[in-house]
């Protein structure tokens, strides 16, 4: 009984309650205290040792491991205090790690404590430990994937049920996949935090989350989904980080919708499922697929981290050294303007002779080669819809071309989506 690992939990929402339920199956783990915002809120679990004082857990001498599943950056000071008091940290907090991970890991190194965060990136998918252990021999050139289940669910329903973005968002909110304020998911913030963490691990560099290009799915229409399908693509919100021009110190990190070829296995990822793809040598390509969120999938990763600490907690030296942060330098992150991509454009123009020619001429002026250009049916106002797929070109050249054709007040690029 004296060998029990003693836990303090911060946050008893969906994930926190899942962790609580799972930990109750372990006789050698004791939950000492749980910190919540509202002591009177009704919960699925009955907890006698509740507190609304987060710092009391951080300072409690009986707590060995602080499990933080509250989310947000408001717990930053409490986690710093916990580390200073010699406590290990298990967290699912992607925003905190993406924005303040460097300071937390430096502090953990100073006080010889471990920070584990398998649940912060892809819920129930084991990805961080495999990268640090089984795949440690690899030199990676790219990590990419579907890292947000809410947006993938919305895009799936738009495709399968031919519904608008607004209708599918409402459906996701009704089922609990999306928050009342869905901004963090649909505008790409959640995926941005996760790709920052993955890039940090894969490329062994610190990442400035403020330099990551981010674009959400709110501009994607049912028409875009339908046209993409006819052209052999599906639209997914892709988070990716890759080396730029083979320079391992310079990274291209971004989150935005992409047209994904139907032959690419990631195009088959449906609903709230997540997927992470890695390109490296000598492994070549591997993909991890599974539930990216939810009570028990996320609890699975959190409790796995707790058990890893328990197995090593007897050590007086560095606990779980493989999981520590050993890098101190920041990656050189390029601007989206300097990247090269293929593009899908949906353009509204007058239904008059020569419109396609004008677009072709503008593309030629900015050295943009066309892969295909199609005029579709007229809309209800009699305007033409023109679809363009380009070969690879610089983002800044594409933006200049769009500015050029939009000088004609009757021509408007309604959507620009990069092609994977």
For the chain, give the number of residues.
420
Pairs from 377-381 (Cβ < 8 Å, separation ≥ 24): 378/351, 379/348
Structure tokens at 3: 């060998």
Residue with tokens 């580390």: 83
CA distance linking residue 346 with residue 257, whole number of Å: 14
CA distance linking residue 381 with residue 147, whole number of Å: 39
DSSP string, 233-247: EEEEEEEEEEEETTE
CA distance linking residue 95 with residue 175, whole number of Å: 24
Residue of 94, 194, 234, 236 marked active site: 194
Q: Report H helices in 85-148.
A: 94-110, 119-122, 128-132
Please check whether residue 408 is in contact with residue 378, taking contact to mean a CB–CB distance below 8 angstroms: no
Which residues neighbour 106 within 8 Å (Cβ) at sequence distance 6 or greater?
325
Please give the C-alpha separations between residue 260 and each of 140, 190, 235, 256, in angstroms, as whole numbers: 21, 21, 6, 12
153-185 CB burial, b ≥16 within 10 A, e <16: bbbbbbbeeebebeebbebbeeeebbeeebebb
CA distance linking residue 181 with residue 162, whole number of Å: 24
Which residues neighbour 15 within 8 Å (Cβ) at sequence distance 6 or greater?
69, 92, 119, 295, 298, 299, 302
Residue with tokens 């942060």: 325
CA distance linking residue 22 with residue 98, whole number of Å: 27
CA distance linking residue 308 with residue 119, whole number of Å: 13
Neighbouring C-beta atoms of residue 107, cutoff 10 Å: 17
SS3 string of 118-129? CHHHHCCCCCHH
CA distance linking residue 388 with residue 347, whole number of Å: 8
The answer to whether residue 194 is catalytic is yes
Q: Which residues are annotated as catalytic?
A: 194
């Amino acid at each position: 009984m004296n060998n029990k690992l003693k836990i303090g939990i911060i946050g008893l929402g969906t994930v926190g309650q899942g962790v609580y339920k799972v930990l109750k199956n372990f006789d050698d783990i004791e939950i000492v205290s749980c910190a919540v915002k509202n002591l009177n809120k009704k919960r699925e679990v009955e907890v006698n040792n509740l507190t609304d004082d987060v710092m009391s857990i951080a300072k409690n001498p009986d707590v060995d491991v602080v499990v933080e599943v509250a989310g947000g950056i408001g717990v930053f000071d409490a986690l710093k205090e916990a580390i200073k008091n010699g406590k290990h940290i298990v967290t699912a907090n992607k925003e905190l790690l993406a924005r303040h991970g460097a300071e937390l890991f430096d502090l953990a190194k100073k006080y010889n404590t471990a920070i584990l965060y398998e649940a912060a990136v892809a819920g129930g998918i084991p990805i961080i430990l495999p990268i640090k252990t089984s795949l440690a021999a690899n030199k990676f050139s790219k990590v990419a994937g579907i890292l947000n289940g809410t947006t993938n669910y919305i895009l799936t329903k738009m495709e399968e049920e031919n519904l608008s973005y607004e209708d599918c968002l409402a459906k996701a909110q009704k089922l609990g996949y999306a928050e009342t304020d869905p901004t963090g998911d649909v505008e790409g913030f959640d995926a941005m935090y996760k790709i920052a963490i993955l890039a940090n691990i894969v490329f062994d560099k610190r990442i400035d989350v403020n330099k990551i290009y981010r674009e959400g799915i709110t501009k994607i229409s049912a028409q875009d989904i339908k046209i993409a399908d006819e052209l052999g693509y599906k639209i997914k919100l892709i988070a990716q980080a890759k080396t730029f021009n083979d320079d391992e110190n310079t990274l291209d990190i971004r989150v935005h919708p992409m047209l994904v070829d139907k032959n690419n296995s990631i195009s088959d990822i449906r609903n709230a499922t997540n997927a992470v793809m890695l390109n490296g040598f000598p492994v070549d390509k591997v993909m991890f697929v599974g539930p990216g969120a939810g009570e028990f999938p996320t609890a699975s990763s959190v409790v796995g981290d707790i058990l890893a600490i328990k197995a090593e907690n007897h050590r007086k030296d560095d606990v779980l050294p493989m999981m520590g942060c050993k890098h101190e330098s920041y990656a050189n992150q390029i601007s989206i303007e300097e990247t090269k991509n293929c593009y899908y454009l949906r353009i509204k123009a007058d239904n008059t002779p020569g419109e396609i020619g004008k677009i072709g001429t503008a593309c030629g002026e900015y050295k943009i080669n066309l892969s295909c250009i199609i005029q579709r049916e007229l809309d209800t106002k009699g305007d033409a819809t023109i679809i363009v797929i380009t070969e690879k070109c610089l983002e800044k050249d594409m933006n200049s071309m769009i500015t050029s054709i939009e000088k004609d007040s009757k021509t408007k690029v309604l959507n620009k989506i990069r092609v994977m």
